Amino acid sequence: MTSQHKAALSRRELLKTVGVGSLALAGFAPLFQTSRASAQPKTLKILQWSHFVPRYDEWFDKKFTKEWGEQHNTQVIVDHISSAEIRARAAAEVAAQKGHDLFMFLDPPAVYEAQVIEHNELVQEVERKHGKLLELAHKSVYNPKTKKYFGFSDSWVPDPGNYRKDLWDTVGTFPDTWDDVRVGGAKIKQQAGNPVGIGLSQELDTSMAMRAIMYSFGSHEQNEDGQLTINSKETLEAVKFVRALYQETMTPEVFTWDVSSNNRFMLAGKGSFAMNAISITRSAEKDVPEMSKKIQLAKTPAGPVRRMGLEHVMSVYVIWKFAENKEGAKQFLLDLVDHYRTAFLESEFYNFPSFPNTVPDLRELIAKDPKGEPPDKYSILGDFVQFATNVGYPGYSTAAIDEVFSTFVIPTMFGKAARDELSPEEAVKAAEREMKRIFAKWEKA
Amino acid sequence: MEQRSGKGFAHLFDRVEWLGPIMLAPAILYILALIALPFCLALLYSVSDVTTGRQSLSWVGLENFRGILDSPTFRQALKNTFIFTFVSQVLVMVLAQIMALALQQSFPGKPLVRFLLLLPWVSPIALGTIGWKWMYDSLYSVINWTLQALHLISPATWPYWLGEPDLAMIAVILVHVWRMFPFATVILLAGLTSLPTEVLEAAAVDGAGFWRRLFQIILPMLRPIMTVAVLFGVVFTFADMTVIYVLTRGGPYDSTHVLGSLAFFVGIIGGDLGEGAAISIFLFPLLVMVAIVMLRIARRTEVD
3-state secondary structure A334-357: HHHHHCHHHHHHHCCCCCEECCHH
Give the phi and the psi of residue B10 in degrees, each rounded to 5. -60, -30
User: Is the model's pLDDT at A327 over the cut of 90?
Assistant: yes
Shortest Cα distance, chain A CAs vs residue B50, angstroms: 9
Chain B, window 31-70: residues with a beta carbon less than 8 angstroms from a chain A beta carbon: 49, 51-55, 67
pLDDT (0 to 100) of residue B225: 85
pLDDT (0 to 100) of residue A303: 97
The pLDDT tens digits of the residues spanning B113-164 come to 888 988 898 889 999 999 999 999 988 999 999 999 999 998 878 899 998 9
The answer to whether residue B28 is domain-embedded is no
Range of the domain at B251: 63-303
The pLDDT tens digits of the residues spanning A29-85 come to 544 444 444 456 799 999 999 998 999 999 999 999 999 999 999 999 999 999 889
User: Is the model's pLDDT at B11 over the cut of 80?
Assistant: no
Mean of the per-residue pLDDT values of chain B? 87
pLDDT (0 to 100) of residue B2: 43
pLDDT (0 to 100) of residue A17: 62
The answer to whether residue B279 is domain-embedded is yes
Better-predicted residue by pLDDT, B217 or A381: A381
pLDDT (0 to 100) of residue B1: 42
* The total number of residues written for chain A in this structure: 445
Whether A255 sits inside 8 A of B272 (CB atoms) is no
Contacts of B53 in chain A (CB under 8 A): 94, 111-115, 399
Whether B251 sits inside 8 A of A15 (CB atoms) is no
d(CA A86, CA A48): 8
Chain A residue with CA closest to B257: the answer is A202
User: Is the model's pLDDT at A392 over the cut of 50?
Assistant: yes
The answer to whether residue B9 is domain-embedded is no
pLDDT (0 to 100) of residue B195: 86
- Residue B49: which of A91, A252, A445 has the nearest Cβ? A445
The answer to whether residue B13 is domain-embedded is no
Domain count, chain B: 1
The answer to whether residue B172 is domain-embedded is yes
The pLDDT tens digits of the residues spanning B245-258 come to 999 989 888 899 99
Per-residue pLDDT averaged across A249-259, rounded? Answer: 91
The answer to whether residue B107 is domain-embedded is yes
The answer to whether residue B240 is domain-embedded is yes
Whether B271 sits inside 8 A of A402 (CB atoms) is yes
The pLDDT tens digits of the residues spanning A202-227 come to 899 999 999 999 999 999 999 999 99
- Residue A111: which of B10, B73, B271 has the nearest Cβ? B271
Assign residue B77 the CATH number of its domain.
1.10.3720.10
Among A9-18, B70-79, B80-89, name the one with the lowest average pLDDT.
A9-18
Chain A, window 185-204: residues with a beta carbon less than 8 angstroms from a chain B beta carbon: 193, 200-203
The pLDDT tens digits of the residues spanning B163-181 come to 899 999 999 999 999 999 9
Q: Are A154 and A330 in contact (CB under 8 A)?
A: no
CA distances to A48, A64, A207, A315 from A57, in Å:
10, 10, 25, 14
DSSP A371-413: TSSSTTGGGGGGGGGGTEE-TTTTS---HHHHHHHHTTHHHHH
